[in-house]
Copies of this chain bind each other. A is one copy, B any other.
């Protein structure tokens, strides 16, 4: 038995023994996701046990180094773990912006001190992070941000306003882009800083979306004191960190839809609502649309696979991430439109128990934000045309 086969066998046995039955059901909705953090109220004992057991193994962050609380797994081992978890439908034990975003940034740019301070609590699900990038009136134009951090010797004083801070009202710490050199222009003079959301002068206001949910906040900073050692990477070079993370984020769009449609095929769903005729979906137009979407999705996944394989071979992803972000989010929007086509009036119910309080319509509406957040589709096309295709500026 190879090492990897042995690892698989051990992993399978461990998961069988340790993953509670309740945690082996697909999420019914995003609301059942475990975010962790100081304010987190576990929805069940099983959710708590599962998070803690996985954290003890370091498997909440399988590939992070063991000394920072991770699992220290190789790429191959991590894939085996993912496969084995998927095999039994095991839920993600805990996840938040600390795992997706801050962790990778610290591992690449953070000092040893910052890694030791922040990574272990993330792995244990103790600290929930949020992201402070966008500002009102800046939108996709991140480089024009105006939140400023004034140098007061041993600390900064931060003043300004952020918008689209995900779950800032429920997060414990924030990673935040602030202007540390007001003289510098555009991308220069920006730093990437970390601070506690319970600091004096921090306040948040949830933003209600058209879907009725409030996953984002407006966040206000009024003379917030930030320790100077909480700067990730070099002072005034926060743009490098932010750009790395944006690329990282876009690169992680793998084509698996979030929400209700995760793991669900549209064909059988549509058959349930529109019926069949001569062995085919009764709505021929919808059938053709679903086939086209699935073909495009298959093509997208093939491209994702190719780009990732090249990235592993050291060719890097770079501006390709903009291609993935663009198509991944546009496909997802199409997918939710077709789901709504299939569900008819049932999909439109907004508050019935039958539909879990309008889950379908809300997720359809929420998907419209995919091509706005994290860089709009228009910005992505601009990056592709300039940086991948080399088309000239006007």
Q: Chain B residues near A278 (CB, 8 Å)?
A: 278
> Is there a chain B Cβ closer than 8 Å to A1's Cβ?
no
CB-CB contacts below 8 Å: A32-64 with B:
none
Quickly give the copy total for this chain.
Answer: 2
A372 at the interface (CB under 8 A from B): no
Bound Cα distance from A278 to B278, whole angstroms: 9
Which of A115-123, A239-247, A282-290 sits within the interface? A282-290
In the bound complex, CA of A285 to CA of B286 (Å):
10
Beta-carbon nearest neighbor of A394 in chain B:
B394
Interface size on A, residues (CB 8 A): 7
Q: How far apart are A49's CB and chain B's nearest CB, in angstroms?
A: 51
Nearest CB on B from A267, distance (A): 15
The complex places the Cα of A31 from the Cα of B43 at a distance, in Å, of 77
Could you say which residues of chain B place their CB within 8 Å of the CB of A287? 284
**B residues within 8 A CB of A284?**
280, 284-285, 287-288
- Complex CA gap A261/B278 in Å reads 33
Within 8 A of B (CB), among A260-316: 278, 280, 284-285, 287-288
A280–B394 alpha-carbon span in the complex (Å): 51
Q: What is the minimal beta-carbon distance from A10 to any residue of chain B, in angstroms? A: 50
Query: Which listed residue, B280, B285, B394, touches A288 by the CB 8 Å rule?
Result: B285
Question: Within residues 59 to 94 of chain A, which ones have a CB less than 8 A from any CB in chain B?
Answer: none
| Shortest Cβ distance from residue A265 to the other chain B in the assembled complex, whole angstroms | 20
Chain B residue at smallest Cβ distance from A292: B285
Residue of B nearest to A289 (CB): B288
Q: Which residues of B contact A288 (CB under 8 A)?
A: 284-285, 288
Across the interface, which residues of B come within 8 angstroms of A280, CB to CB? 284
What residue in chain B is nearest A284 (Cβ atoms)? B284
| Min C-beta distance of A45 to chain B, whole Å | 52
Contact with B along A377-394 (1 / 0, CB 8 A): 000000000000000001
A280, A287, A288, A394, most chain B CB atoms within 10 A: A288
- Chain B residue with the shortest CB-CB distance to A278: B278
Residue of B nearest to A287 (CB): B284
Closest partner residue, chain B, to A277 (CB atom): B278
A288 to B284, alpha carbons, bound, how many Å? 8
Complex Cα–Cα for A68 and B280 (A) = 65
Taken together as a complex, chains A and B put the C-alpha atoms of A394 and B394 apart, in Å, by: 10
Inter-chain CA distance A287–B287, complex, in Å, is: 13
Residues of B with C-beta under 8 A to A285: 284, 288
Between A278, A284, A394, the greatest number of chain B beta carbons within 10 A of the residue's beta carbon is seen for A284
How far does the alpha carbon of A394 sit from the alpha carbon of B278 in the complex, in Å?
55
Docked pose: A27 CA to B288 CA in angstroms:
36
- Shortest Cβ gap from A275 to chain B (Å): 15
Instruction: Name the 3 nearest CB pairs between A and B, nearest first.
Output: A284-B284, A285-B288, A288-B288
**7 more A-B contacts (CB under 8 A) besides A280-B284, A288-B288?**
A278-B278, A284-B284, A284-B285, A284-B287, A284-B288, A285-B288, A394-B394
Q: A interface vs B, CB < 8 Å?
A: 278, 280, 284-285, 287-288, 394
9 contacts between A and B (CB under 8 A): A278-B278, A280-B284, A284-B284, A284-B285, A284-B287, A284-B288, A285-B288, A288-B288, A394-B394
